[in-house]
A = this chain, B = another copy of it.
Amino acid sequence: MSQHDLKLGHPRCGDCPIRHRAVCARCEPNELEALDAIKYYRSFEAGQTVIWSGDRMDFVASVVSGIATLTQTMEDGRRQMVGLLLPSDFVGRPGRATAAYDVTATTDLVMCCFRKKPFEDMMASTPHISQRLLEMTLDELDAAREWMLLLGRKTAREKIASLLAILARRDASLKAGAGACSFDLPLSREEMADYLGLTLETVSRQISALKREGIIALEGKRHIKVADFDRLTEQTGDDTDGGVLS
């Protein structure tokens, strides 16, 4: 796949970087060709809104690269992030006309879009797609419920530690570093606050506290070095054994 193809909006599905994890993961070569025919790419710059809650939404999409957020906003401005969309994650709901949440690009973002009608037609004729979508939706439901525990019962300290641990693990799995690891925060303090159900001041204070205690170190505002991953995990409030038996 060349840069040129990307800009034309039609890299081959077979060469797609998210091919093995996205909604199309289970598709056969001929099914991929059908998808190839109806897909189109859209790019967004960091900070841009993809769609507003309540707006007509005539497409569904997969995140190809970059990060997007799903947020809900109350009349008085209180905001809660209800989902973080990473590459391969799916946006939109077949069979629904309008967006249920604000979708925002927090980094530069590329999405692989399908107009809803053709996609729904393909779903009806392609069990591999709906099977995979069901699986992904069940995973998202589990993630949402884990987040409910965090929002309802964890302290500010535990919330921050949990988020950092998740982000660290995500990057560690790519880098295979054992004791120490480091990564860039994909979210601003305010976005972290919206995700964790806190204020940005509390987020900042807790990060400073973790730094003071030597559990993490900062380079600039956005780069985190985790000195000792175990000590960070202790702060999350989660089971220490990590559910070995499951």
Residues of A in contact with B (beta carbons under 8 Å apart): 54, 70, 72, 74-76, 78-80, 82-83, 93, 95, 98, 100-101, 127, 130-131, 133-135, 137-138, 140-142, 144-149, 151-153, 196-197, 237-240, 243, 245-246
Contacts and interface: CB of A to CB of B under 8 A. Distances in A.
Given A130-B134, A141-B140, A82 B246 contact: no
A153 B197 contact: yes
Given A74-B149, A133-B134, 15 more contacts: A54-B243, A54-B246, A72-B145, A72-B146, A74-B153, A74-B238, A79-B153, A80-B148, A80-B149, A80-B153, A82-B145, A98-B246, A100-B142, A127-B130, A141-B144
30 contacts: A54-B245, A72-B145, A72-B148, A72-B149, A74-B149, A74-B238, A75-B237, A75-B240, A76-B237, A78-B153, A80-B148, A80-B152, A80-B153, A82-B145, A93-B138, A98-B246, A127-B127, A130-B131, A130-B134, A133-B134, A137-B137, A137-B138, A137-B141, A141-B141, A144-B144, A144-B145, A151-B197, A152-B196, A152-B197, A153-B197
A194 to B, nearest CB: 8
Contacts of A130: 127, 130-131, 134
A193 to B, nearest CB: 10
Interface-central residue, A70, A83, A101, A131, by most chain B CB under 10 Å: A131
